[in-house]
Amino acid sequence: MSAPPSSRRAPKNGGLRRFTQPAPPREERCELCAAVLDDGAHRHLVDVERRVLACACTPCALLFAKSGAAGGRFRAVPDRYLTDPGLRLDDTTWELLQIPVGVAFFFRNAALDRYVALYPSPAGATESELEPSVWQSVLSGSRLAAVLEPDVEALLFHRTEGRVDCHLVPIDICYELVGRMRLLWQGFDGGAEARAALADFFAHVESRVTSVDRVARP
């Protein structure tokens, strides 16, 4: 006996709704202890073995605030923004670095014992292939380079017309900028939306920086 016609009908759309509706946002959790993180900003750790960032709650971040804690695999990213009023870089110096865009950041890789230079691009963070000796010659005279914490802080350069600004910043915000540029980049020069986001980002950095003269090494 054949089944009643009504039993062979296709399911109504309501039966598939749970598969087509956007999934509810997942709670962000600390990647060490699995504690739920606040909706606002939270701390990050650098996994120096895997070279990745890990989200962390405040107690876990404090455990790794000192270099060498728990074997040295994780290091907490500090929350300081510094500038050196006496540092002056011009277009000639920038040309030595051969960075094709107006933004770059340098950090000291403790395992390699040298600077690594990266800049944002449509493909993400792109590493400069310039000889490290050139970076060293440019950065060696900077007091910011003298207090830079390896792996967790970066020297962030921003070139505008006739001027190159340099700030010491937490390394996680550099990768945040890379992600934002990758998301917004359009065309050859990035497009208006990417330029606006870049301006907002550096306005935020400028609002937080303190002179290196007024602070000590953490």
pLDDT per position as a tens digit, 51-66: 889 999 988 888 888 7
Q: What is the pLDDT of residues 77-88, one digit of tens each?
A: 999 999 988 777
**Residue 53 pairs with which residues in a beta bridge?**
46
pLDDT of residue 180: 92
Q: What is the pLDDT of residues 177-196, one digit of tens each?
A: 999 998 998 877 778 898 89
**CA nearest 87: which of 164, 171, 153, 170?**
164
Question: In a 10 Å sphere around its CB, with 0-12 CB exposed, 13-18 middle and 19+ buried, how is residue 42 labelled?
Answer: middle
pLDDT of residue 50: 86
Q: Work out the mean pLDDT of the chain and round it to a whole number.
A: 81
Mean pLDDT for the stretch of residues 193-213 = 92
pLDDT over 80 at 216, yes or no: no
**Residue 55 pairs with which residues in a beta bridge?**
44
Q: What is the band of 46 on the pLDDT scale with cuts at 50, 70, 90? A: very high
Q: What is the band of 5 on the pLDDT scale with cuts at 50, 70, 90? A: very low
Pairing of strands 82-83, 210-211: parallel
> Using CA atoms, how far apart are residues 33 and 87, in angstroms rounded to an integer?
42
pLDDT over 90 at 151, yes or no: yes
Instruction: Report how far Cα 87 is from the mean position of its chain's Cα atoms.
Output: 23
pLDDT of residue 11: 43
| Contact assessment for residue 147 and residue 168, using Cβ atoms and an 8 Å cutoff | yes
Residues 6+ apart with CB under 8 A from 67: 75, 149
pLDDT of residue 22: 55
Mean pLDDT for the stretch of residues 192-212 = 93
pLDDT over 50 at 218, yes or no: no
pLDDT over 50 at 13, yes or no: no
Q: What is the pLDDT of residues 14-27, one digit of tens each?
A: 444 443 455 556 77
Q: What is the pLDDT of residues 100-150, one digit of tens each?
A: 888 999 999 888 888 888 998 888 888 887 777 787 777 777 889 889 999
